[in-house]
């Protein structure tokens, strides 16, 4: 099914994606990071949902990306497979979640993802993009993370935020006026789950 949406995948990438669910099931039994209901719909609700960002932008090699509040590694782990020449850094304030990211990444043989148990406010590095998946209200998230962004852009979108969100977002983004764009995930993937889901870009 993934090759239907991403026909350019290599054999290695397909094998890595195929191995993901079993790895997460194994680690989820030890450290609960994904609900049972979501695990039953892992492919759609975690894998494809994360990869929607890859339909919005093709990151250039050596782009540096931080995934804030990564949980078990979404969207950064699937995106690290999709973009092997891009550098991902996954952070979370809960240490056991970062352990899952680290162990899964190692098992998949991913060399382009690092993980750290840290709050975004305490991180000193700079990145081209900040990713999040339903972490916080955008105003709160912006104030906590905008210091992480580089000024100089090299990608088709200027450096900024790429957030996976759902529902009616007009009120939440009202203060950002013309600085954001919504991308409907239902335009990329089939399935009822994606009907109200969006990738939101904020520059």
Q: Which residue ranges form the domains of the chain, and what is each CATH number?
A: 2-6+15-202 (3.40.50.150)
pTM, entire model? 0.96
In this predicted structure, the answer to whether residue 172 has a pLDDT above a threshold of 90 is no
Cα–Cα dist 145/122, whole Å: 10
* Block residue for tokens 């993901």: 20
Mean pLDDT, the chain, whole residue set: 94
| pLDDT attached to residue 134 | 75
Give the mean pLDDT of 34-56: 92
35 band by pLDDT with thresholds 50, 70 and 90: confident
Of residues 51, 124, 58, 48, the one with CA closest to residue 91:
124
Sequence-separated (6 or more) residues with CB below 8 Å from residue 165: 134, 197, 198, 200
- Predicted pLDDT at 175: 85
* C-beta separation of 71 from 38 below 8 A: no
């Amino acid at each position: 099914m993934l090759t239907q949406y991403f026909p350019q995948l290599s054999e290695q990438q397909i094998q890595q994606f195929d191995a993901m669910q079993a790895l997460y099931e194994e680690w989820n039994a030890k450290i609960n990071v994904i609900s049972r209901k979501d695990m039953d719909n892992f492919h759609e609700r975690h894998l494809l949902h994360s990869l929607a960002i890859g339909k919005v932008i093709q990151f250039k090699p050596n782009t540096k990306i931080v995934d804030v509040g990564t949980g078990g590694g979404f969207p950064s782990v699937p995106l690290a497979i999709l973009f092997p020449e891009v550098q991902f850094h996954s952070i979370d304030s809960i240490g056991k979640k970062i352990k899952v990211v680290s162990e899964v990444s190692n098992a998949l043989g991913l060399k382009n993802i690092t993980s750290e148990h840290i709050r975004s406010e305490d991180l000193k590095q700079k990145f081209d993009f900040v990713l999040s998946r339903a972490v916080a209200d955008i105003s709160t998230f912006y104030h906590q993370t905008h210091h992480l962004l580089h000024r100089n852009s090299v990608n088709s979108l200027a450096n900024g935020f790429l957030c996976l969100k759902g529902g009616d977002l007009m009120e939440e983004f009202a203060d950002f006026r013309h600085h954001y764009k919504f991308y409907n995930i239902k335009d990329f993937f089939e399935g009822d789950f994606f009907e109200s889901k969006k990738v939101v870009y904020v520059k």
